[in-house]
A and B are shown apart, each in its own frame.
Chain A
């Protein structure tokens, strides 16, 4: 099968462009997504191909365009909205939480809200407290929203295409430090269904359950530990809502040990839900060690490199947690 190596950013762009070519109801809206190509250069070439009628640049007015996306979704369009930084969701939280997420249920199951909110998430860039957060757990808690956090170009493309075709509001959290990473994608069309985890590395001694940028870190740690003879499984959840509970339970039943890793603040983070899924299932009886969690410290993300590195989880903290229960 012919394939090629592309970046995570281009995978996102290709998914959007392919879907816009396929379906005239899909349009793309956000701030500076035209000739500027978006803050992270994701939408290069799109305004040239689709024109300003379908690549719609907005005022700096997140509440207006997020609400407009929802209003157009319930009346027949399929908007993809780019929110420059996922932190800005706080600016338009109402339109996501009280409007887009609720319209179907609240109106008796008639409305469809087929929209995708793409946002760049995560730290490591020195952009400090308001441009570095991982807030996925806040969306997972709201019934009516689906939440996707892809870790590779292949997953990003296949999951985004599925998200665009989904009839619900999907929050698609891109990892800004992964935009430049490369991976192989097939030339022919493929879709990855939402709600399916992926074993990125098979192992027998311990399961690292993770998603997003920390997948790559966990794989690097697993490679190193393999040299010492430890067999670490890395399970990439890919979609947090709906959550692939079966994949989590099966992996832990097999390895009997679990380390949960995410970049988001550990306290109150989604890792707590993953731990509860394990504790609440038959996998509990297989556990040979306590469940460990790795996440950011309970602290806004600082600017200074030494401080930011301290607050965010890295390979050493992941390795430490693994070694603690190996």
Chain B
């Protein structure tokens, strides 16, 4: 099967003329980063109950991919789903309130970090079961095809770890056999929790999975937000015209898997190397090198992103808690 590789900058030179778009991209990855940093802070202060899975270092995959989607497109993300939800337009205040289990959270405090959803923006939920969202994405794609909805796709995120789940394989075959408009977005961060991809699979080139199901695969540098955006846009067009495809985005999670991670499975040097190549630093230097933005402009975007997160934290901390007597609301429609 055909395989398209898109490395840095291949989003096309025309994108570089769209300063508003570039700004939105930079702001998106900055907000995603600061959102998670704030979550860590609120955790350490005891405001967050439960667990959370950070994707620090992976922001370009979540933001770049979802920015290539339309508002009506469906999107299903993983337990590490903050950045895709932010990129798909989820209300930041509502997300932060959800982290704190508040009534005005996007899931009224019932879901927490692992289940962010906003159906009004096509965000059909982050999922706590690894790989289980892929069959659901096929269903959303069935709705598109049964109702004949034009210019809409269903995009599903999963990791290299999830790529070995039966649900993902079944979903890829199901989508391909029915020609469903599904974009399978495989975020390869090289680890399934602590298990290196080298231990989990014999063939580490996961794009080859697509061929088994008769799908085209796309591949990009997942730490380059422009490459992610450009490749995802191309993949989306492919889905609309030809049916499902697999998009593999290579990145690295510099944060731990969750609160419990002591980073015993990788070296400090490995993490430091990827920290230096993190998507915010890379995109900022690219914008400076190409003289698309000045240092002052980038700093201003950084400050505005910080202000968004500070406001969200303030909103969440002041938000009301759910009422105990409403604990059973919403079990049934």
Contacts and interface: CB of A to CB of B under 8 A. Distances in A.
B132 A99 contact: yes
B177 interface: yes
Interface string B99-133: 00000011111110001010100001101110010
Contacts of B124: 71, 74-75, 111
Given A53-B146, A59-B177, A144-B331, A64 B138 contact: yes
B139 A104 contact: no
Contact of A71 (B128, B140, B173): B140
A68 B135 contact: yes
Q: Which of A76, A99, A106, A107 has the most CB of B within 10 A?
A: A107
Given A64-B138, A98-B132, 4 more contacts: A58-B174, A77-B147, A108-B110, A111-B124
Interface stretch (B38-46, B53-61, B164-172, B276-284): B164-172
A23 interface: no
A19 to B, nearest CB: 16
Interface in B136-189: 136-144, 146-147, 154, 166-167, 170-171, 173-174, 177
B74 interface: yes
A112 B136 CA distance: 14
B106 A108 contact: yes
Contact of B107 (A63, A74, A77, A107): A107
B129 A98 contact: yes
Interface string A144-167: 101000000000000000000011
Identify the 7 closest CB pairs spanning chains A and B, nearest first. Answer: A71-B139, A67-B135, A109-B330, A167-B333, A108-B107, A71-B136, A64-B170
Nearest to B98: A108
Best-surrounded residue of A67, A74, A146 (most CB of chain B within 10 A)? A67
Interface of A: 27, 53-54, 58-59, 61, 63-77, 79, 94-95, 98-99, 103-114, 143-144, 146, 166-168
Interface in B220-261: none
B331 A104 contact: yes
Given A77-B143, A103-B125, A107-B125, A71 B135 contact: yes
A63 B135 contact: yes
A255 to B, nearest CB: 32
Interface of B: 74, 76, 105-111, 115, 117, 119, 124-125, 127-129, 132, 134-144, 146-147, 154, 166-167, 170-171, 173-174, 177, 329-333
Contacts of B331: 104-105, 143-144
Contact of B110 (A69, A107, A114, A166): A107
A249 to B, nearest CB: 22
Contacts of A58: 174
Contact of B132 (A59, A94, A167): A94
Contacts of B129: 94, 98-99
B111 A68 contact: no
A68 B139 contact: yes
A221 B108 CA distance: 52
A53 to B, nearest CB: 7
Contact of A109 (B110, B132, B173): B110
B105 A108 contact: yes
B282 to A, nearest CB: 34
Contacts of A167: 332-333
Contacts of A112: 333
Contacts of A107: 107, 110-111, 115, 117, 119, 125
Given A61-B170, A99-B132, A72 B119 contact: no
A109 B171 CA distance: 26
Contact of A68 (B108, B127, B138): B138
Contact of A73 (B134, B138, B139, B144): B139
B110 A105 contact: yes
A321 B138 CA distance: 50
8 contacts: A71-B135, A74-B119, A76-B143, A95-B132, A107-B115, A108-B106, A108-B111, A111-B125
B146 A106 contact: no
A74 to B, nearest CB: 6
B117 A109 contact: no
A142 to B, nearest CB: 10
Contacts of A99: 127, 129, 132, 136
A75 B136 CA distance: 10
Nearest to A113: B333
A54 B125 CA distance: 26
A167 B142 CA distance: 18
Nearest to B134: A67
A51 B171 CA distance: 23
A108 B108 contact: yes
Contact of B111 (A64, A106, A168): A106
B143 A110 contact: no
A63 B136 CA distance: 10
A74 B137 CA distance: 11
B246 to A, nearest CB: 16
B135 A95 contact: yes
A108 B115 CA distance: 10
B330 A104 contact: yes
Contacts of A69: 139
Which of the listed residues B127, B140, B166 has the most CB atoms from chain A within 10 Å of its own CB? B140
A106 B98 CA distance: 11
A75 B108 contact: no
Nearest to B128: A98
A295 to B, nearest CB: 28
B125 A109 contact: no
Contacts of A66: 135
Contact of A70 (B139, B154, B174, B330): B139
